[in-house]
Amino acid sequence: MALFATEEWAQALADEMNSDKEMAKAGKGFDATIQFIIQNAGDRGDIPFWTHLKDGKVLELGTGEKKCDYIIAGDYGVWKEIVEGDQDPLQAIMVKKLTFEGNMQTIMKYIKAVNQMMEDVKKIPTEF
């Protein structure tokens, strides 16, 4: 079990996504970098990590901040609800529990990939 939003946790998610045939189908044609920022994570402060996705595969990922095509940020508690399956990430964006920067039209075009990624997130044994 990996601690949420650590490099170990992010690598487990990347491995899960890269082995997911549905993710590869849903993400075909999508090529972007995404910066995730988990805010107010107690003693850990704000936790930034990023990933480069292409055709439903994670090409690279890292911790820290990086200039990316998209930025999704929100409070640790909201992210926990998303990982545990209690909060839909798109709904969280729509009601401003998460902030989103980037081209919303492109994200909506690849909504199946976003949903599949969230299904993969739920498969990662996570410690909070």
Residue 115 has pLDDT above 90, yes or no: no
Q: Which domain holds residue 108?
A: 2-118
Q: For the chain, what is the domain count?
A: 1
Considering the domain boundaries, does residue 124 fall inside one?
no
Considering the domain boundaries, does residue 128 fall inside one?
no
pTM, two decimal places:
0.90
Considering the domain boundaries, does residue 74 fall inside one?
yes
Considering the domain boundaries, does residue 127 fall inside one?
no
In terms of C-beta density within 10 A (0-12 exposed, 13-18 middle, 19 or more buried), how is residue 90 classed? middle
Considering the domain boundaries, does residue 125 fall inside one?
no
Domain of 92, CATH number, reads 3.30.1050.10
> What separation, in Å, do the N-terminal and C-terminal C-alpha atoms of the chain show?
10
In this prediction, residue 21 carries a pLDDT of 96
Over residues 97-109, mean pLDDT: 93
Considering the domain boundaries, does residue 94 fall inside one?
yes
pLDDT in tens, 34-70: 999 999 999 999 999 999 999 999 999 988 999 999 9
Considering the domain boundaries, does residue 123 fall inside one?
no
Question: What pairs with residue 109 in β-bridges?
Answer: none
